[in-house]
Amino acid sequence: MSPSYSTEFIDQAHKATIFHEQEILASHHCTCFYCGYQFDPQTEPDLQWWDETNPKGRTLV
């Protein structure tokens, strides 16, 4: 069975899961890859972040 996604795509997707504050705040549609919860970060009232002090940007919990 061949994989559905290229290794390059998986690498890019994984990089987008951390230090992604700018991408999250510019987006209207996010999905949690842990539980599948879908939300709009523009209207979600209680976003929680990791990596608060990382200069690359915060990571959304």
Chain positions 22 to 41 lying near Zn ion, rule: CB under 5 A, are 32, 34-35, 37
CB 20 within 8 A of CB 57: yes
Output 8 or 29, the one with its CB closest to Zn ion. 29
Output 13 or 32, the one with its CB closest to Zn ion. 32
| Shortest Å, Cβ 7 to Zn ion | 25
Residues in the chain: 61
Residues that bind Zn ion (CB under 5 A): 32, 34-35, 37
